[in-house]
């Protein structure tokens, strides 16, 4: 008998971490309306490099049904030059603009990312008989990680400017953004105005823009302001009256790619669900549990297509449950709100007003020995703007001991009051708002889909339904190791599937559905099943399993090679312990 477990080469699987990017350029509506009158965010696609990366955004809706308001947070991933950044967003009213917290998205993504893991057990009766000195073994690994504010100088109200039929209803400076809310009845006039005012546009946009204008929408035009650089980009927040969040895709399709991923979060008092899109349950047998769901993207894409039943217009729910799952770490610190440099004439005037010492005391930065660590994504660009490093001096050296370079301090760039305002509006206020949102709203929903441009014909709308069950983001199946033959995997829904005898996930019949069920979700009550594929799935699982042998050793204890080319020996008294790390996605 062997003294320690033996792992045959057959079961020595390569474990790798999954970092699935499922970001998407998303669009949103800013007022209640009929389904066909949904506003959206548009990212232009000119012959120049596209200003906004169409695969790099997430969106969060905070829904207050009591006050009938929606607060939309849009995370922006930008690729390109700062001066080429431009973005127009259809709106049905003038919203309140502010900037949001990047850390909030980081924490939500990390907390709610789906994970798929296997628990391994012996199912060999020969190993269970004490007379032979055999015992069952069990091992389980499930791991892996994810990879509000104020306004400044805002102006609201009618603008007397009348430029070719385009009226400016509002102007605002919000963090790094300059925002103008525009009204027009003609898409071509709006297109010309945007071009003339340095908002790059796509020649294919006017017909779609006209659809929104005909539905009574305005457009919020956004660009970086006053020399702001790309590293100053942070989530944009819009708060408006309404109770029906929407992700309009009609304009997005101009610059979208095939199978573009879209991820939407909802903070509210109960679970969110799609209104005019279908809700689908993926077939867990299609997920490669052995490799920790490294085919998850493909499964969601195929499930959203719904075997031809949804026309690509469907979402899956990846998590629905308590928002307390999301960590508040790094969102806000009371010390940030206490930073005040107004009246300070020199950033290194005295040790007590040394700007770096003050920021270190607030936990925003640590500079020492010629190196700086920045603990908030906005503090570095703000510091570099108001306390720029002198020419020829390394940034880490300068900020580590500013007193050594007192003669080189650029007092023209320093404005203590403005520096304080930037910290409050772009760091403290957004962080406090993010923290308050998680405390106020007890329920978080995370939904995901893939959609191609030709499918972006209808804008998805969402609603709340308190009768829906929670959805865990932790998925676990059990693999039973036999004496001989194929491993048997029992999925969370009770389905059983036999693996290839080399331990890999089997290639399933082409007719095996990717979706378990297609649902429509009413405003209240349980989901209504429109398509049920359970019978077909059971038939195809049986067809797949018939190809393999499974021996649980209910006969005599024996030692023999695994059949069909599998490697290694499974012997009485040999216990195999296998751990597969659960792969998780952003």
The whole-number pLDDT of residue 432 equals 98
Q: Please provide the DSSP assignment of 284-333 as one string.
A: GGGS-TTTTTTTHHHHHHHHHHGGGTSTT-EEEEEEEEEGGGS--TTT--
Do 13 and 128 fall within a single domain? Answer: yes
The whole-number pLDDT of residue 281 equals 96
Is a pLDDT exceeding 80 seen at residue 56?
no
Do 430 and 548 fall within a single domain? Answer: no
How many angstroms separate the CA atoms of 497 and 409, rounded?
69
Q: Which of 194, 202, 177 lies closest to 44, judged by CA?
A: 202
On whether the CB atoms of residues 224 and 232 are closer than 8 A, the answer is yes
Mean pLDDT of the 332-341 span:
96
Do 426 and 495 fall within a single domain? Answer: no
How many angstroms separate the CA atoms of 547 and 507, rounded?
11
Distances, alpha carbon 249 to alpha carbons 28, 208, 259, in Å: 9, 10, 13
Domain membership of residue 374 (yes or no) is: yes
Do 395 and 478 fall within a single domain? Answer: no
The whole-number pLDDT of residue 574 equals 31
Domain membership of residue 529 (yes or no) is: yes
Mean pLDDT of the 418-422 span:
96
End-to-end CA distance of the chain: 45
Residues 299-327: tens digit of each pLDDT:
999 999 866 667 889 999 999 999 999 99
What's the domain range around 483?
9-17+112-146+471-584
Mean pLDDT of the 541-564 span:
63
Do 420 and 545 fall within a single domain? Answer: no
Domain membership of residue 158 (yes or no) is: no
Helical H segments across 424-483, by residue range: 429-440
Q: Assign 227 a pLDDT band (cuts: 50, 70, 90).
A: confident
- Total number of domains in the chain: 2
List b or e across 446-465, with b for residues whose CB sees 16 or more CB atoms inside 10 angstroms. bbbbbbbbebbebbbbbbbb
How many angstroms separate the CA atoms of 445 and 139, rounded?
31
Sign of CA dihedral 193, 212, 33, 73: negative
* Least confident window among 262-276, 295-309, 362-376: 295-309
Do 533 and 426 fall within a single domain? Answer: no
Q: Assign 130 a pLDDT band (cuts: 50, 70, 90).
A: very low
Domain membership of residue 495 (yes or no) is: yes
Of 380, 412, 436, the residue at which a domain comes to its end is 436
Domain membership of residue 511 (yes or no) is: yes
Q: Assign 557 a pLDDT band (cuts: 50, 70, 90).
A: very low
How many angstroms separate the CA atoms of 312 and 306, rounded?
7
Q: What are residue 229's phi and psi, to 5 degrees?
A: -100, 170
Mean pLDDT of the 546-564 span:
55
Residues 8-18: tens digit of each pLDDT:
332 222 222 22
Q: Please provide the DSSP assignment of 461-494 as one string.
A: BEEE-TTSPPB-SEEEEEEEE-SEEPPEEE-TTS
Domain membership of residue 206 (yes or no) is: no
Do 429 and 514 fall within a single domain? Answer: no
Of 410, 436, 462, the residue at which a domain comes to its end is 436
Given its phi and psi angles, is residue 369 left (phi above 0), alpha (psi -120 to 50 degrees) or beta? left
| Percentage, residues of the chain above pLDDT 90 | 56
Q: Which of 580, 568, 477, 465 lies closest to 519, judged by CA?
A: 465
Is a pLDDT exceeding 90 seen at residue 351?
no
DSSP-derived letter for residue 82 is G
Token pair recorded at residue 483: 């004496």
Whole-prediction pTM value?
0.81
Residue keyed to tokens 């023209």: 412
Do 13 and 124 fall within a single domain? Answer: yes
Count the Cβ atoms, other than its own, within 10 Å of residue 564: 13
**Taking all residues of the chain, what is their mean pLDDT, rounded to a whole number?**
79
The 3-state DSSP composition of the chain as helix, strand, coil percent (nearest 5) reads 25, 25, 50
Do 571 and 482 fall within a single domain? Answer: yes
Residues 73-114: tens digit of each pLDDT:
998 877 788 888 888 888 878 899 999 999 999 999 999 999
Given its phi and psi angles, is residue 472 left (phi above 0), alpha (psi -120 to 50 degrees) or beta? beta
| Percentage, residues of the chain above pLDDT 70 | 76
The whole-number pLDDT of residue 586 equals 54
Domain membership of residue 237 (yes or no) is: no
How many angstroms separate the CA atoms of 123 and 551, rounded?
9
Do 493 and 425 fall within a single domain? Answer: no
How many angstroms separate the CA atoms of 62 and 435, rounded?
13
Do 526 and 575 fall within a single domain? Answer: yes
Domain membership of residue 449 (yes or no) is: no
Q: Which of 573, 272, 233 lies closest to 446, judged by CA?
A: 272
Residues 149-192: tens digit of each pLDDT:
333 333 334 444 445 589 999 999 999 999 999 999 999 999 99
Residues 517-540: tens digit of each pLDDT:
999 999 999 999 999 999 999 999
Q: Assign 360 a pLDDT band (cuts: 50, 70, 90).
A: very high
The whole-number pLDDT of residue 126 equals 56
The whole-number pLDDT of residue 185 equals 95
Do 478 and 544 fall within a single domain? Answer: yes
Mean pLDDT of the 494-498 span:
96
* Least confident window among 33-42, 52-61, 332-341, 499-508: 33-42
Of 436, 451, 483, the residue at which a domain comes to its end is 436
Count the Cβ atoms, other than its own, within 10 Å of residue 569: 13
């Amino acid at each position: 008998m062997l003294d320690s477990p033996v792992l045959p080469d057959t079961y020595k699987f390569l474990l790798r971490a999954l970092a699935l990017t499922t970001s998407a350029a998303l669009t949103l509506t800013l007022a209640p309306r009929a389904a066909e009158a949904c506003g959206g965010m548009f990212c232009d696609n000119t012959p120049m490099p596209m200003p906004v990366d169409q695969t790099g955004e997430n969106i969060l809706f905070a829904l207050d049904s009591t006050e009938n308001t929606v607060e939309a947070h849009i995370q922006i991933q930008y690729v390109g030059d700062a001066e080429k950044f431009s973005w127009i967003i259809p709106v049905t009213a003038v919203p309140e603009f502010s900037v949001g917290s990047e850390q909030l998205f980081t924490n939500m993504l990390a907390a709610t990312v789906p994970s798929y893991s296997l628990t391994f057990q012996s199912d060999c009766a020969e190993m269970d008989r004490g007379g032979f000195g055999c015992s069952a073994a069990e091992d389980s690994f499930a791991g892996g990680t994810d990879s509000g504010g104020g306004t400044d100088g805002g102006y609201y109200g009618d603008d007397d400017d009348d430029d070719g039929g385009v009226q400016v209803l509002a102007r605002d400076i919000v963090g790094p953004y300059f925002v103008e809310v525009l009204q027009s009845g003609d898409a071509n006039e709006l297109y010309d105005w945007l071009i003339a005012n340095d908002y790059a546009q796509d020649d294919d946009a006017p017909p779609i823009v006209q659809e929104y204008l005909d539905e009574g929408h305005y457009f919020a035009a956004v660009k970086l302001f006053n020399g702001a650089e790309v590293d100053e980009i942070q989530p944009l927040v819009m708060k408006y009256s309404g109770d029906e969040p929407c992700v309009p895709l009609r304009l997005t399709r101009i610059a979208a790619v095939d199978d573009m991923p879209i991820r939407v979060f909802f903070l509210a008092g109960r679970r969110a669900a799609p209104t005019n899109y279908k809700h689908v349950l993926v077939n867990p047998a299609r997920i490669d549990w052995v490799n920790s769901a490294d085919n998850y993207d493909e499964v969601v894409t195929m499930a959203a297509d719904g075997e031809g039943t949804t026309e690509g217009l469907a979402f899956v729910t990846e998590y629905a449950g308590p928002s307390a799952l999301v960590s508040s770490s790094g969102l806000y610190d009371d010390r940030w709100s206490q930073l005040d440099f107004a009246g300070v004439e020199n950033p290194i005037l005295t040790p007590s007003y040394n700007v770096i010492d003050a920021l270190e005391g607030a936990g925003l930065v640590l500079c020492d020995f010629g190196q700086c660590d920045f603990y908030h994504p906005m503090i570095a660009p703000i510091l570099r703007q108001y306390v720029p490093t002198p020419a020829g001096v390394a940034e880490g050296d300068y900020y580590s001991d500013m007193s050594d370079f007192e003669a080189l301090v650029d007092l023209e760039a320093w404005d203590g009051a403005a520096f304080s305002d930037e910290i409050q509006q772009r760091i403290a206020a957004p962080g406090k708002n993010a923290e308050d949102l998680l405390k106020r709203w007890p329920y978080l929903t995370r939904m995901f889909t893939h959609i191609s441009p030709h499918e972006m014909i209808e804008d998805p709308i969402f609603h709340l339904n308190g009768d829906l069950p929670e959805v865990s983001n932790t998925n676990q199946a059990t693999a039973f190791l036999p004496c001989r033959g194929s491993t048997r995997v029992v999925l969370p829904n009770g389905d059983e599937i036999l693996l290839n005898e080399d331990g890999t996930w089997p290639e399933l019949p082409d007719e095996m559905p990717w979706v378990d069920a297609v649902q429509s979700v009413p405003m209240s009550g349980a989901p209504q099943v429109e398509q049920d594929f359970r019978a077909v799935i059971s038939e195809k699982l049986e067809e797949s399993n018939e190809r393999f042998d499974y021996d649980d050793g209910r006969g005599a204890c024996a030692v023999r090679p695994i059949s069909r080319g599998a490697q290694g020996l499974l012997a009485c008294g040999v216990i195999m312990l296998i751990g597969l790390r659960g792969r998780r996605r952003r």
